A and B are shown apart, each in its own frame.
Chain A
Amino acid sequence: MLNGRQHGGVSVTIATSLEDACAALAVEPCPLVLSGGTDLMVEVNRGSRRVGDIVVVNRVPELVGWRRKGDQLRLGAAVTFAEICGSELESLVPALAQAARTVGSPQIRNVATLGGNIATASPAGDSIPVLAALDAVLELRSAEATREVSLRDFITGVKQTCLLPGELIEAVRVPVLDGPQEFCKVGTRNAMVISVASLAILANRGSRRITVGLGSVSPAPLRASDAEDHISPHINWDGGAIPDEATIAHFARLVAGAANPIDDHRSSALYRTHAIRVLARRALSRVLGRLSAT
């Protein structure tokens, strides 16, 4: 661990082990956790966040990399989006890889991390709708304790989480599902854009469920539960016929009905809801097409 590097009065600790990181965080006032820095440094440069002491965690071995255990994936919090969209994860969690590909530019994806995206807790976080649809579980750790909390309990509001002082996100656990997945995101540029509305639809042959996560249309992670309940029984999980257009349209309306968007400088709430409805229909059609083809 490199400790106490002074930069204009700010102490920067580059943690090289999980124990070191937790120890460095266990002080008052609690230092900021820096991983890729692609959110934090924007706020710092804009002057909207004053920097206190910093603990850098993206070189902690326990936080780097991912592994598969049965039907579960354990992704270290410091796994980068470049690693997610350029690896075997593309086939294990395709929607997460699709979402990762929409994060910023290649330079951003090379350093931005999954844990950072979650901890920032922006409604527009690109990984959030996928993780919500996957029922992701977060492993949190502090010097004293570890605990597990679901993503949906973790993010409590706009840029609000239940992370306690001294705690960091160690890993994210998601299931490997049997079934096609789709992630779609609307922005006003064809790449490198903050989401105006996004949506993940995952098919799970094992549980015979469709799950739907929505992004940028609510303060906290959102599932379209009514739409999931509606569409799941209509699907012939053993292959063959797909639901008719009216059923799909109703599903899309239910998904849009779950959205609770705001007007801001990136879009109107009206357009966001409209976009979610369109994305729901298109993404479901893609999922159903692949379900029936296999």
Chain B
Amino acid sequence: MTGTRVARRTGTAPRIGESARRPDGVPKATGSFSFSSDLRHDRMLWGGTLRSPHPSARIRSVQIGEAVAVTGVHAVLLSDDVPGQKVFGLEHRDQPVLAGDVVRYEGEPIAIVAADHPEAVRTALRAIVVDYEVLTPVVDPMTVEETESIHPDGNLIRRIHLRHGSQDVVGDVQVEGTYEVAMQDQAFLGPESGMAVPADDGSIDLYVATQWLHSDRDQVADCMGLDPEKVRLTLAGVGGAFGAREDLSLHVHLCMLAQHTGRPVKMVYSREESFHGHVHRHPAQMWYRHHADRDGTLVRVEARLILDGGAYASSSSAVIANATCFAAGPYRVPSAEINGAAVRTNNPPCGAMRGFGAVQTCFAHEAQMDRLAKALGMDPVELRLHNALVPGDKLLTGQTITGTAPVAEVIRTCAEHPSAAAIATDPLELPGGTGRTADPGHVVRGEALALGFKNLMFSEGFDDSSEASCRLLDGVATITSACAEVGQGFVTVVQQIVREVLGVDEVVLLQASTADVGSAGSTSASRQTWMSGGAVQEACGQVRVQLLERLATQCGVDTDDLVLADGQIVSLSGGLEVDLAVATEEPVEASVVFRHAPTWPLDEHGQGSAHVAFAFSAHRAIVDVDTELGLVKVVELTTSQDVGRVLNPMQVVGQLEGGAAQGVGLAVMEEVLVTDGRIRNASFTDYLVPTALDMPPVEIAALIEQAEPGAPFGAKGIGEAPAISSTAAVAAAIRNATGLNLPRVPVRPVDIVFPEGAT
């Protein structure tokens, strides 16, 4: 079931800066790609999960007798059956593998079942009797800190009270606003799925779609009471991630069932179950006050941020750090007080999603910038240019930007890019689309620009590393890395890097597994091209040096005299020409652990050089709004992004389009509806993501290429920025069209039709 991905170089295979087609592109488009839900084993059992129907309840008892008696059932396991540590978590181990005496969110797992047929699993799950004492869920994040704790760790997950610069600064002009971002889902297409296979020696192989194999491995091993080397994780085909696969879901459950039954066990979540089975983007409540001089110079920003973390911590403490650190946007702000808190409620757990805290605050700080421009009578683009960060400026954290920060370039290129958006006449292209609700006369147009940024890679002193090895044999480079390919394009970029450094024809990237190599770190935080790409680049560089040194010794020439290019090693002084395949009949190998420049924790005032580097982006949105029905058509999105260097142009375009689509979704339709702790739209029938008629063409005005120091080939991660400023731009364009405040995303029809007290 595992395999290797092989790319044969034809002599024109793409190198750095050229468009490389994904090896998994055609298989995914034609249906032959093997996703984690396609895993099969001759002897496998099917697993299933019993989940709490209540957001908050005490469990008085669980009766499993009838479930165990169902024909074909091999195991029914409860909290007491967890062999090791009972809790897991990315940053704080506070989430039970299986709920024991209390459930804290709707859908929390209580029991797991293995049986020889999915129908037997369902029958057994229905036969489990849980006696609940139903409690009133704690669901209001604004008051939860004054409420009785719903978890031994308390209701406050993390507060950062950031104070930057003088605290008694008052601006000539002040604008104030309250903003809200709803809960967004990552909406990946491949539901949680995987298979655990027990081995005779008590060890377990787990095949699963994930973003960080080694973090999963360590948590699973602890919960299984096994040494880490007894748990081997191998990446199964990932059907999208976007942050939703950072936390464990079915991992420990599968291993428990496999160990208990001695059989391979497979589990696949249904779509509804998936909505309960992974974390979402934090809903945010935000208050802001901006102070500026009359010429538009920002002098102070105040903000209070509340993120609803839901029942368990997940990555909330890092998300609130991002929200707080980047709360004012990519602007020079000499004085600030930002009070950010992530709190615990009985709502669905929230954690990582593309943009990671910067999406929520971008929506707010960009609305504030537009409001300020209006108060000043200033052009909103000019206001942004006037305050744009430049290298050498300080962030709210006091950190000086030492890398690249082409903020003004990003703004200018995006704002100046000509628009191709014509006025539509086809009703399909008007707000309402196929519903044929609008005629051109019912529509008003709006346009606005927004700017956003976030950090690249892990922050706050985290020891962030990636290991990779390169083995060059017979002219073929084999790369070993545990980097999770989740769609971001590591499989293409790694080949480009290897070809660039070694000039080889063939690159083999082994299946990512914890068995073969150390951690690559998480496929998140826009970090893998830099981190695992950097590790591969260094490993290849070492192989190159070793090879040339070996050949120089063998041939009695000076190493400096040798050049490796296009599958040949030649001496500059002439006389030596060796085919790379011949030169590597004996293998050359190197293994590297790559680290980025160190960072430091934030101090008690939220100050410190906590971040490695930053990526900036701008979006300009043009929207048509049917104000009478409150329906919106996003007509055009234009973007400029700070990318460091373009490694694979095709992949860059794909990331910029895909990220913008998630941003458009959050702006106009995507919302996990939660009432009293219950999700009301756990399906793709009712959780709406943009279709081809909702997603406009993405015009790329500019990819700003300023090589970032320390990054491989100067390339910055590009995956998250597109999801940050796009939402803010679309919301601002709807404001521009309607003249309404629209302090909340997604903007719903009622927000436009009944702007006062929308319900």
**Chain A residues proximal to chain B, CB less than 8 Å:** 8-9, 42, 45-47, 98, 101-102, 105, 182-194, 196, 198, 265-268, 270-271, 274-275, 278-279, 282, 286
Contact = CB atoms under 8 A, between A and B. Distances in A.
B432 A8 contact: no
Given A42-B685, A46-B270, A187 B435 contact: yes
Contact of A102 (B435, B690, B694): B435
A197 to B, nearest CB: 9
Contacts of A274: 753-754
Given A9-B119, A194-B685, A282-B439, A186 B432 contact: yes
A278 B442 CA distance: 11
Given A47-B270, A191-B694, A8 B119 contact: yes
Contact of A189 (B680, B681, B694): B694
A265 B671 CA distance: 11
Contacts of A268: 750, 759
Interface stretch (B25-33, B457-465, B628-636): B628-636
Contacts of B271: 45
Contacts of B533: none
Contacts of B688: 188-189, 193
Contacts of B759: 268, 270
A194 B685 CA distance: 7
B432 A190 contact: yes
B434 interface: yes
Given A42-B685, A266-B686, A275-B629, A47 B122 contact: yes
B136 interface: no
Main secondary structure of the interface of B (DSSP, over half): loop
Contacts of B8: none
Interface residues of B, number: 41
A191 B272 contact: no
B143 interface: no
Q: Which 5 A-B pairs have the closest CB atoms?
A: A190-B433, A185-B435, A190-B693, A265-B680, A191-B693
A117 to B, nearest CB: 15
Interface in B91-134: 117, 119, 122
A106 to B, nearest CB: 11
23 contacts: A45-B270, A45-B271, A46-B270, A47-B270, A47-B272, A98-B436, A182-B436, A185-B437, A186-B435, A186-B749, A188-B631, A188-B748, A189-B433, A189-B693, A190-B434, A190-B631, A265-B681, A266-B686, A267-B749, A267-B750, A271-B753, A278-B629, A282-B438
A182 B436 CA distance: 9
Nearest to A50: B122
Contacts of A182: 436
Contacts of B570: none
A194 B686 contact: yes
Given A47-B270, A192-B691, A268-B759, A183 B436 contact: yes
A35 to B, nearest CB: 19
A278 B433 CA distance: 16
Interface string B415-444: 000000000000010011111111100100
A190 B430 CA distance: 9
Nearest to A266: B686
Nearest to B748: A188
Contacts of A42: 683, 685
B7 interface: no
Contacts of B685: 42, 194
Given A186-B432, A188-B631, A189-B433, 10 more contacts: A8-B117, A189-B688, A190-B435, A267-B749, A267-B750, A270-B759, A271-B754, A275-B749, A278-B628, A282-B438
B610 to A, nearest CB: 39
B692 interface: yes
Nearest to B691: A191
A186 B694 CA distance: 14
Contacts of B373: none
B136 to A, nearest CB: 21
B688 to A, nearest CB: 5
A184 B433 contact: no
Contacts of B510: none
B581 interface: no
A41 B669 CA distance: 25
B434 A101 contact: yes
A186 B630 CA distance: 10
A182 B427 CA distance: 13
B653 interface: no
B272 A46 contact: yes
A46 B432 CA distance: 29
Nearest to A277: B628
Contacts of B390: none
Interface in B739-759: 748-750, 753-754, 759
Nearest to A105: B691
B435 A282 contact: no
B673 interface: yes
A185 B631 CA distance: 12
Interface in B618-645: 628-631, 633
B14 to A, nearest CB: 34
B664 to A, nearest CB: 11
Contacts of B434: 101-102, 185, 190-192
